[in-house]
Amino acid sequence: MQAANRLQKSLKAGRPSLGGWQMLPGTNLTRVMCRSSSNLGWLLVDLEHGNISDDTMHEIVAAAAACGVSPIVRVVEGRPWAIKRALDSGAHGILVPMLETAEDARRIVQFSKFPPAGNRGFESLLAVEKFVEQHPHGGPVREPTGLEYLQQANDALVIAVQIETKAALENVKAIAAVPGVDVLFIGPFDLGVNIGHPMRGQGEMDPELLEAIQTIHEAARAAGKVTGIYCDSGEEARRYADQGFLMPSAMTDMVGLRKVFRQAFEGGQ
């Protein structure tokens, strides 16, 4: 399973992995995004703010995995049912928004891991085929068995928690120290609003927000964890990658569509 999880392989090797972000439904869109560049390592399937239902999530996860891109599902909230549905779809990892304490993080890990590390219920029929190892031009197909999924999932899946509130910022060292949490992912828009320093136009940040982002990054590194962050451009993602952030997003479908259409129609005037 770990060999098929492109995001986790990069994180384990200490290499940045740039991600895409899908808010709109449709597997044609998924395939276009995933095949747009060999540099796209993971695709975030956004159930929290996106227009994506549970059944559509299953289809997007399958389409991304078939393209060799790791599907990561941002669940609606850190409840057992939400985490179970995402992982049982075959997601290579989850992103949980709006947690605030180390206890929240421990519960998320518990819901995400099979016993004895957690209490996730076992059913792998839909999940295993999202970890198939197959050469794109033919050759043998290697799909994990259900038993292999059970034995490997606790170590092979990426568990990311989103630091985007004042309380989470205050508790970030304790959250980072929770075993089983792999990534502290920064949502700069919500984080800025929650600490009273919202982002301005063109991604401009107050010094207080920049300091908060650095505090989270340092807490993650001190605990041996990875930092991720939401970005609106490849240039911004690369800047963070150069600073040691290993899981920056680079483009969101709605943002990219708006940019491309604006450029086309403004250029045509």
CATH code for position 199: 3.20.20.60
At 142 the pLDDT is 79
Please give the angle made by the CA atoms of 52, 40 and 239, to the nearest 5 degrees. Answer: 110
When pLDDT is cut at 50, 70 and 90, the band that residue 189 belongs to is very high
At 268 the pLDDT is 67
When pLDDT is cut at 50, 70 and 90, the band that residue 136 belongs to is low
What is each CA distance from 224 to 12, 97, 120, 153, 212, in whole angstroms? 11, 21, 25, 20, 19
This model's pTM is above 0.75:
yes
Mean pLDDT confidence for 224-232: 97
Domain containing 45 equals: 2-267
54-93 residue pLDDT tens? 999 999 999 999 999 999 999 999 999 999 999 999 999 9
At 203 the pLDDT is 72
The residues, ordered by sequence, that sit 6+ positions from 25 with a Cβ below 8 Å of its Cβ are 51, 52, 53, 56, 60
**How many domains does the chain fold into?**
1
Cα–Cα distance, 101 to 11 (Å, whole number): 24
- Among the listed residues 49, 58, 92, 135, the single catalytic one is 49
b/e burial code for range 98-131 (CB count within 10 A of at least 16 → b): bbbebebbbbbbbbbbbeeebebeeebeebbebb
Respond yes or no: is residue 49 known to be catalytic: yes
